[in-house]
Amino acid sequence: MTEQTYAPGTYPDLPPPSDTVGPVHWLKANLFSSPVNSIVTLVAIYLLYLALPSAFNWLLIDATYVGETRKDCAPGGACMAFIGERFNLFVYGFYPAELRWRVNLAAILLVVAGAAVLWDKMPARKHIMKFAMIYPLIGAWLLSGGLFGLEYVGTHLFGGLMLTLTIGVTGIVFSLPLGILLALGRQSKLPIIKYFCIGFIEFIRGVPLITLLFVASTMLSYFLPPGTTFDLLLRVLIMVTLFASAYMAEVIRGGLQALPKGQLEAANSLGLNYSQAMRLIILPQALKISIPGIVNTFIGLYKDSTLVIVIGLLDPLGIGRASVADSAWLGLSTEVYLFVAVFFFISCFGMARYSLYLENKLNTGHKR
């Protein structure tokens, strides 16, 4: 038997022992590692066996995908023809059909701007970032028009997916900087700023969003001078942004407090002034720590946008609720709610995954 020798550092990795790899081992380790786990696995498989085939049949095999009224739908299966017929309503709400290209264009530009902001390997990122900075104005102009030759579209016609995205994106984009300012203001040594920020945060957090929306929609007209009309959606956007920024401030304050005091002292001893210290030392670290909380707030804000139904705006859920009342399509609430749930799941899951990606990218080894 010859003894194989290797130079230092070149010793090849040996394959793992045969009983620690392969599907059988995976099953053993993950599904049947103990008697209790084995029982749980078997019960779970049985439940899936009960639920999956019928759900599968309902959604795919017995389902009807084309039709004019409910009568065209086969009984016992999902009536997806309904969703198909109303898909445009779900996406654009009541936006005039001939102007929907504006919504599409705004969405494409949003993807471009969003990619530059969210993805640091984007080609020509520097230039697109400049565009992303002014995107909110461009988006608002495209959607509601009224300037430079675009026909005005009242915001009461906004609805469905585009309404959710409008509220979600506006809230997210504006609540983060506002939240940072509030968080810093709360730690300020200047009493007026400090107590203003504390008062604002505590007031907003102490009131349910639905109440703020209600105030925005019905009470504001009493406080404003008579005759002034203030766009309803704009009021909602302001309220949602303020609401989210109060929560954001607390999330970021948590991040700030997690930093050792030495960081700020070190920055001061290097001669950095307040804004430099914050911009270069404190916030990059604090925001990184806060990412899960920030995204959490975003997801909450996004889902809270369904509350706009109380002020007469119809988001996908509202459109869905209104749609099930169409006399030609009575009794299809399951399909509608499923569709809306899938839509929200995709959006929120996407945000959660992005947050995870960002955490991993910024991971500097402090993570436990």
Question: Can you give the binding site for other proteins, defined by CB under 8 A?
Answer: 75, 85-86, 88-89, 92-95, 97, 154, 156, 159, 208, 210-211, 214-215, 217-219, 221-222, 226-227, 232, 309-312, 314, 318-319, 321-328, 330-331, 333
Closer by beta carbon to other proteins, 25 or else 156: 156
We find the least distance from the C-beta atom of residue 325 to other proteins, in angstroms, to be: 4
We find the least distance from the C-beta atom of residue 231 to other proteins, in angstroms, to be: 12
DSSP output for 130-184: HHHHHHHHHHHHHHH--STTPPP--GGG-BHHHHHHHHHHHHHHHHHHHHHHHHH
DSSP output for 82-102: HHHHTHHHHHHTT--GGGHHH
> Could you give the 3-state DSSP secondary structure of residue 186?
helix
- Other residues' Cβ atoms within 10 Å of the Cβ of residue 365: 4
Closer by beta carbon to other proteins, 211 or else 273: 211
Residue with tokens 């009807």: 64
Closer by beta carbon to other proteins, 49 or else 152: 152
Q: How far apart are CA 238 and CA 233, in angstroms?
A: 9
We find the least distance from the C-beta atom of residue 324 to other proteins, in angstroms, to be: 5
E-only strand ranges, the chain: none
Closer by beta carbon to other proteins, 275 or else 327: 327
Closer by beta carbon to other proteins, 6 or else 222: 222
We find the least distance from the C-beta atom of residue 68 to other proteins, in angstroms, to be: 10
> Could you give the 3-state DSSP secondary structure of residue 38?
helix
Closer by beta carbon to other proteins, 177 or else 208: 208
Give just the sign of the alpha carbon dihedral 325, 330, 335, 338: positive
Give the CA dihedral 95, 100, 103, 106, nearest 10 degrees.
-150
Q: How far apart are CA 337 and CA 319, in angstroms?
A: 10
We find the least distance from the C-beta atom of residue 209 to other proteins, in angstroms, to be: 12
We find the least distance from the C-beta atom of residue 214 to other proteins, in angstroms, to be: 6
Closer by beta carbon to other proteins, 37 or else 218: 218
Cβ-based neighbours of 118, under 8 Å, separated by 6 or more: 354
Cα 292 to the center of its chain, rounded Å: 12
Closer by beta carbon to other proteins, 85 or else 359: 85
Contact in structure between 319 and 162 (CB atoms under 8 Å):
no
- b/e per residue 130-151 (b: at least 16 CB within 10 A): eebeebeebbbebbbbeeeeee
We find the least distance from the C-beta atom of residue 357 to other proteins, in angstroms, to be: 37
| Beta-bridge partners for 331 | none
We find the least distance from the C-beta atom of residue 82 to other proteins, in angstroms, to be: 9
Closer by beta carbon to other proteins, 148 or else 222: 222
Angle 338-331-59 from CA coordinates, rounded to 5°: 40
We find the least distance from the C-beta atom of residue 94 to other proteins, in angstroms, to be: 4
- In Å, how far are 67, 72, 92 from 328, measured between CA atoms? 11, 10, 21
